Amino acid sequence: YDTGTVARDLIGLMDALGHERIAVAGHDTGFAVGYALAADYADRVTRVALAEIPAPPGATPAPPLFVPRPLNEKLWHIPFNRAAGLPEQLIAGREDVYFGYEFAIQGGGVAQKTIDYYISLVSDPTSLTGSLGFYRSFDETLAQNAERAQRKLTVPVLAIGGERSYGAHVEENMHGLAEDVTGLVLRGAGHWVAEEAPEQLLDALRTFLAPDLAASAAR
């Protein structure tokens, strides 16, 4: 589940579907995968929208182990999820507690019925373990991103933050990793930007992706 492997598999999917050039949008884990796609397959990705993590893990210095409490509440799950086998034992049967806390602490603006739906998707052993695979491959992803950071992205980047979450920090950090960065802070949104500010996000993506949409329509 390291980002290099996921990016490779997605390119394989695009090949199978007959898409030579693609635009990419990703949120959180999708941000990390979108960055990998744009870095590893620069000849295939035309532009990339990246939302709501401060920067790809490993591409910028990691925070220290002990961080202020508000930041710890947002990040503690990363080292926890990396532990082998233990998270499944503690989460199973308590998915509503564990994931409910994550939805609340990362913004708190998502409807309960939506949270319940998402939790249902990871409430069996196979799906739960699969959801932790990204974190358990962090060593590989960190090494990959340290290498990727040696060359800036050249495609247009839309760096998106929620006003009540990472805000302008997304754009600030991406300026060090890409040559062409446009920043966007979604008003009133926390971490869950697609659920908390759907119209703002859709409007921004339509504008950002317009050149690709026009080119696709012309073909």
Other CB atoms closer than 10 Å to residue 31's CB: what's the count?
Answer: 26
The Cα–Cα gap between 177 and 166 comes to 17
Asked whether the predicted pLDDT for residue 219 surpasses 70, the reply is no
Section 60-78 average pLDDT: 91
Domains of the chain are: 3-218 (3.40.50.1820)
In this predicted model, what pLDDT tens digit does every residue of 171-203 receive, in sequence order? 999 999 999 999 999 999 999 999 999 999 999
For residue 111, which phi and psi values (nearest 5 degrees)?
-60, 145
Q: Of residues 217 and 23, which shows the higher confidence score?
A: 23
79-106 confidence digits (pLDDT tens): 999 999 999 999 999 999 999 999 999 9
